[in-house]
């Protein structure tokens, strides 16, 4: 069922202001990210930087965000290098928070219809976590506990409980991987260490896509362990890198020249476009690099280093 179009999306000011990645970016870069979030709220799939199902070009994004095309490379470099966003296997930018909230919304909707998620209950039990209801969990069920004479006054003296920290990515992904692989019912601990190591080499989307592909095979049988999926994940990651290279190769000369002007001005280089002009494997067309070198004498930035 299609996602209902809501006129709002979740936004937590305290999380936004406390995010070190965002705080390291300029006000203009943070403003661009807000504009991107508004676009991603309307996108399908939710949380992805798409318009009508297609990636947003630099020119279109400049128009939608209300900035000049010349500003984009610098702002993109700030957000990209700070790790504010992630990318899918085909290079589409997406918000980790928005896609995670959407998964939770769908899971809650699905599990609510079933009366609860039995797989996650079993997984939690197999991980050594056990939750038992006690008298303190339901204070009004305890005959020794009585409501205060003045509930409003009593509540005013109870401090707000601290907000729990955002779970590390391998925590939620570890549970999701077990479910995707059909291993949630097996009495084994959640393999957080394996998933954490995977995230050092591959993206969440690489991992998720590969396991879904393998598990969708007609004769699929859940394997004994997660090592079974490493070759498929490696293949998906390589395909993603090739797709990124293909995307970069489609960048127009005029857009490359904008990036090169930023490189010449202050050493800013957008890493999503591959290595910088003075690095091995740079994907800027050779004729443009030669023109740059003739104008400036070498391929090094005139100020600073690659961002």
Q: Please indicate whether residue 201 or residue 144 has the higher confidence score (pLDDT).
A: 201
Question: How high is the pLDDT of residue 235?
Answer: 92
Domains and CATH numbers, the chain: 13-99 (1.10.10), 169-250 (no CATH), 251-296 (no CATH)
276 CB contacts (<8 Å, ≥6 apart)?
263, 269, 282, 301, 306
pLDDT in tens, 133-187: 444 444 444 444 444 555 544 454 556 666 555 556 666 777 788 888 887 776 6
Q: Residue 131: CA atoms inside 13 Å, Cβ hemisphere, count? A: 7
Q: What is the Cα–Cα distance from 58 to 255, expressed in whole angstroms?
A: 9
pLDDT in tens, 219-241: 898 888 888 899 999 999 898 88
């Amino acid at each position: 069922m299609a996602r209902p179009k809501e006129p709002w999306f979740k936004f937590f000011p305290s999380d936004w202001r406390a995010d070190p990645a965002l705080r390291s970016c300029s006000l203009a870069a943070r403003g661009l990210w807000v504009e991107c979030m508004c676009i991603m709220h309307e996108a399908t799939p939710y949380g992805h930087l798409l318009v009508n199902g297609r990636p947003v070009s630099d020119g279109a994004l400049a128009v939608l965000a209300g900035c000049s095309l010349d500003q984009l490379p610098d702002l993109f470099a700030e957000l990209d290098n700070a790790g504010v966003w992630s990318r899918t296997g085909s290079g589409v930018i997406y918000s980790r928070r928005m896609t995670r909230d959407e998964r939770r919304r769908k899971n809650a909707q699905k599990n609510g219809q079933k009366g609860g998620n039995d797989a996650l209950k079993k997984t939690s039990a197999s991980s050594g976590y056990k939750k038992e209801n006690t008298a303190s969990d339901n204070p009004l069920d305890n005959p020794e506990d009585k409501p205060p004479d003045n509930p409003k006054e009593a509540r005013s003296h109870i401090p707000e409980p601290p907000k729990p920290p955002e779970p590390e990515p391998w925590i939620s992904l570890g549970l999701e991987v077990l479910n995707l692989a059909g291993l949630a019912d097996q009495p084994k601990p959640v393999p957080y260490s394996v998933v954490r190591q995977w995230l050092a080499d591959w993206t969440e989307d690489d991992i998720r896509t590969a396991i879904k592909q393998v598990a969708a095979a007609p004769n699929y049988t859940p394997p004994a362990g997660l090592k079974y999926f490493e070759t498929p994940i490696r293949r998906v990651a390589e395909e993603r890198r090739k797709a990124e290279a293909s995307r970069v190769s489609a960048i127009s000369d005029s857009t490359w020249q904008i990036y090169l002007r930023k490189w010449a001005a202050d050493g800013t280089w957008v890493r999503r476009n591959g290595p910088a002009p003075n690095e091995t494997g740079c994907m800027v067309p050779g004729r443009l690099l030669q023109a740059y070198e003739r104008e400036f004498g070498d391929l090094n930035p005139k100020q600073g280093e690659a961002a």
